[in-house]
Amino acid sequence: MIYKEDWEKCKDRFNAFWENAIIDRCCFGVVSPRKLPIEVNTKYREAASLKEKWLNPEFRYTNFIYELSKTYYGAEAFPNFWVNLGPGIVSAFVGSPYKLSNDTIWFDCDPMIDDLDKIPEIKFSLDSEMWKATNDITEFFCKKADGNYYVSMTDLGGTLDIVASFRGSQRLLMDLYDYPDEIKSLINAVDDVWINYYEKLQRHSNIYLEGTCGWLPVWCKERSYPIQCDISVMMSPMQFEEFVRPSLEKQSQFLDKCIYHLDGPGQLNHLDQILDIEGIDAIEWVPIPENGRWTTGDEKWFPIYKKIQAKGKKLVLRDVEPNSVERLLKNISSKGLFFTTYTNSEDEAKEMIKKVEQWSI
């Protein structure tokens, strides 16, 4: 890799991570500004429109290569293009309206199912504008990669989160009581198309890239992806067991390796059930930011981390503040742990790598 000279060794450490082991130190990624930017024939520019920003592969490629040239990827951080087109995009693949905005693409602005007595067929289709855009961007970046970067699959979305886009979150929460059979039917239909879209997009990676990475910066030599259910923060454990767990089991059995995206303290009520799902290999914990900072490395979360590791699951943590790394590694096992952090300079990043070698246990 032009941007990652030690990639072969990094793959060994990722393989060890998936095996709940370490080779010489904890598996982690650190990024910083590159001391000497790589010369490229591109410059960053602002998009002329929202459509160009999100849906034009040439525009996105130009800015992506520019960012790669300025970034140092230390330890197991690696150059990676995320086909970011908003969370829960499967809803648009099957006909749900969408809205482009500056920060994301929304799929829940105009719910397409108003009457549960008249549910449209939720079927796999390659005809939607958003599917064509996603497929084209994914294929474009995979073809261009030439071994110099990876391409992360778009955020397909959690099954019930996609159903919430169809109905609207508030109505869906009432539907769980009033129309449970209809919602379960929708869940089953979404599960099926979710798997089909995954396989269709994954074919591009199979042709041009080795291994996979979902929208998390975690490489895997096998078929992998993060799964989730963000709306579960408003659900009871009993509802989670009835409406969410079967879908998670189905998706995790389909994948070779699977990470659950545990998004915020509101989901902790469901952690025991998630840990009991055999097909889920790892948990990514995402705390709520406090006073403008991420708290991933704070001691208050260590009991959760230890609980996850005690169940034999791997642990993924993003944006650990640099001054929290030592405390984190001295309190939890480095086996089956992957985290990301950042520094202000390439020299500081290389020093961080040396320190992690000392702190890993």
Q: Is residue 346 part of a domain?
A: yes
Cα atoms in the Cβ-side hemisphere of radius 13 Å centred on 319: 11
Joined together, the tokens standing for residue 302 give: 């260590």
Rounded Cα distance, 291 and 314, in Å:
28
pLDDT band with cut points at 50, 70 and 90 for residue 41: confident
Overall domain count for the chain: 1
Average pLDDT over residues 5-27: 96
Give the C-alpha distances (Å, rounded to integers) separating 252 from 226, 260, 279, 292, 347: 9, 9, 5, 34, 40
**pLDDT given at position 108:** 83
Rounded Cα distance, 358 and 343, in Å:
18
Average pLDDT over residues 172-191: 97
The lowest-confidence range among 12-21, 104-113, 155-164 is 104-113
Q: Is 288 exposed, middle or buried (0-12, 13-18, 19+ CB in 10 A)?
A: exposed
**pLDDT given at position 242:** 98
Distance of CA 185 to the CA centre of its chain: 26
Of the two residues 222 and 108, the one the predictor is more confident about is 222
Average pLDDT over residues 251-272: 97
Q: Is residue 209 part of a domain?
A: yes
Q: Is residue 2 part of a domain?
A: no
Specify which residues 259 forms β-bridges with: 226, 282
Strands of 107-206, DSSP E: 150-152
**pLDDT given at position 289:** 81
Find the angle CA(131)-CA(127)-CA(57) to the nearest 5 degrees. 35
Percentage with pLDDT > 70 across the chain = 100
Amino acid in the structure at residue 333:
S
CATH number where 233 lies: 3.20.20.210
* Closest to 296 measured CA to CA, from 329, 268, 320: 320
**pLDDT given at position 109:** 83
CB 85 within 8 A of CB 114: no
**pLDDT given at position 35:** 95
Average pLDDT over residues 284-307: 92
Amino acid in the structure at residue 180:
P
**pLDDT given at position 292:** 79
Q: Is residue 288 part of a domain?
A: yes
Specify the pairing of strand 337-342 against strand 27-33: parallel
The answer on pLDDT for 288 being more than 90 is no
Domain with 309 in it: 7-359
Cα atoms in the Cβ-side hemisphere of radius 13 Å centred on 261: 22
CB 317 within 8 A of CB 285: yes
**pLDDT given at position 43:** 87
The mean of the pLDDT values for the chain is: 95
**pLDDT given at position 303:** 97
Average pLDDT over residues 237-242: 98
Rounded Cα distance, 44 and 172, in Å:
42
Q: Is residue 217 part of a domain?
A: yes
Listed in sequence order, the residues at least 6 apart from 233 whose beta carbon sits closer than 8 Å to its beta carbon are: 263, 264, 266, 267
Q: Is residue 1 part of a domain?
A: no
The answer on pLDDT for 263 being more than 90 is yes
Of the two residues 292 and 114, the one the predictor is more confident about is 114
pLDDT band with cut points at 50, 70 and 90 for residue 107: very high
pLDDT band with cut points at 50, 70 and 90 for residue 290: confident
Average pLDDT over residues 188-199: 98
The answer on pLDDT for 40 being more than 90 is no
